[in-house]
Amino acid sequence: MIKSHIFGILFFVTLCYGQEKIVLNENFNNNRNSWDLRPTSKEFKVTIEKGVLHLEKFHKNFDNRGCLWYSKEVEGFDTSKNFSIVVKAKQISNGDFTDVLDIQWGVSSKININKTAMLYQLNIFMSGEVRLDFFQKKWDNFNKVNIKKKLDEMDFDPKANNRYEILQEDAFVSLKINEKEVYKQYVFPIEGSSIGFQHCLKGAWEIDQIVVSQLLPISRNIVINETDSLKIKLVESQIPNALNVTTIDNTELTINNVAAISKPIEEQGLKVFKKEELVIYPNPFKEAFNVKFNLDKDGSVDLYVFSIHGQLMKTENKYFHKGEQSFLVELNVPIGVYIVRVITKNNENLYKRIVRIAD
């Protein structure tokens, strides 16, 4: 018998990625891939020595606003598809108001960045935050998430040799540091073939390896739409009682209307902040909505946005003083129904259904 596996908070079937095609494996020996070097620049130093790429800015950003946009075209790489970028790096020196490692992917340009570049940039702040930005003629910010607790749990040291991995899988971008996932965000994938770094702050980084891979699907798994029916084979004892199924010959079954299998998240139980309602407006929304609620004491608040299938689309963490609160949430997602979940410091939960409509 062929056994079926079910993944996720709610039932859905998805495509798995367990194979990869390495398109760049750079260890910086002898600069065989012809990286652009700048050993004598007045503001920036870019060198390769002893198998290490060295990126350095000499002055604070307040004193010199210049940024190093450092990119590399990777043959056979397509940023519109699923990929992995692994960067092994350590911070050598600092001295600015904050410390950050900025990793880019998409379309870069060495001639006119403002007119031709289109890219994502993941900003990894050594103080314990991650921010995702998008650039096309101007910068747009997706979100900023606090990951300090996760870094503290792994005894993270930016001046050690750490492994940073950016994964794009089915329009979700995630960040793993030393194999542990610390960030995940829904994006709109863009076509491109370059990777790069932006270096704006005083300090130096050394990178001793970059591995870029195109993730390949495992052919035995399949993708279905929420209104589709799915035929699979199961051992009779493995059929979950809750599934809406049609059995054929005791071995083959059809799961009907996958989206309706699990109840919406909000039907699992609703808790509110001291009987105050969570207000979201406008709803339906197009690109952003306001969240309004009341706190009886100071504390941090976590906001999560899930698709109706249980996929995490966005996270935000903010600190508020007690009283009535309101803040704007920008959400770039496809048209559809989503669930907003708000959790306070005391683990109080509130759920709200929202609808994304066409622009």
Domain boundaries, the chain: 20-215, 278-356
Average pLDDT over residues 347-356: 71
Is the Cβ–Cβ distance between 195 and 72 less than 8 Å? yes
**pLDDT score of 161:** 97
Please state, as a whole number, how many other Cβ atoms lie within 10 Å of the Cβ of residue 43: 13
The amino acid sitting at 56 is E
Q: What are phi and psi of 313, to 5 degrees?
A: -100, -30
What is this structure's pTM? Answer: 0.65
Higher pLDDT, 217 or 57: 57
Mean pLDDT of the 43-55 span:
94
Average pLDDT over residues 328-332: 88
C-alpha distances in Å from residue 62, one per residue of 16, 127, 203 = 46, 19, 13
Domain 20-215 CATH assignment equals 2.60.120.200: yes
Beta carbons of 218 and 135 less than 8 angstroms apart: no
The Cα 177–Cα 119 span in angstroms is 22
Q: Taking CA 191 as the corner, what is the angle to CA 188 and CA 196, rounded to the nearest 5 degrees?
A: 95
pLDDT, average across residues 10-16: 37
Q: Residue 12 corresponds to which amino acid? A: F
pLDDT, tens digit, 9 for 90 and up, residues 254-290: 434 333 323 333 333 333 333 345 788 888 888 889 9
Max avg pLDDT among 200-214, 266-280, 344-358: 200-214
Same fold, 20-215 and 278-356: no
Query: Which residue would you say has higher pLDDT here, 310 or 238?
Result: 310
pLDDT at position 356: 82
For domain 278-356, the CATH architecture is: Sandwich (2.60)
**CA neighbor of 101 nearest in space, from 42, 164, 41, 48:** 164
Residue 162's pLDDT band (cuts 50, 70, 90): very high
Evaluate if residue 35 carries a pLDDT over 60. Answer: yes
User: What pLDDT shows up at residue 349?
Assistant: 67
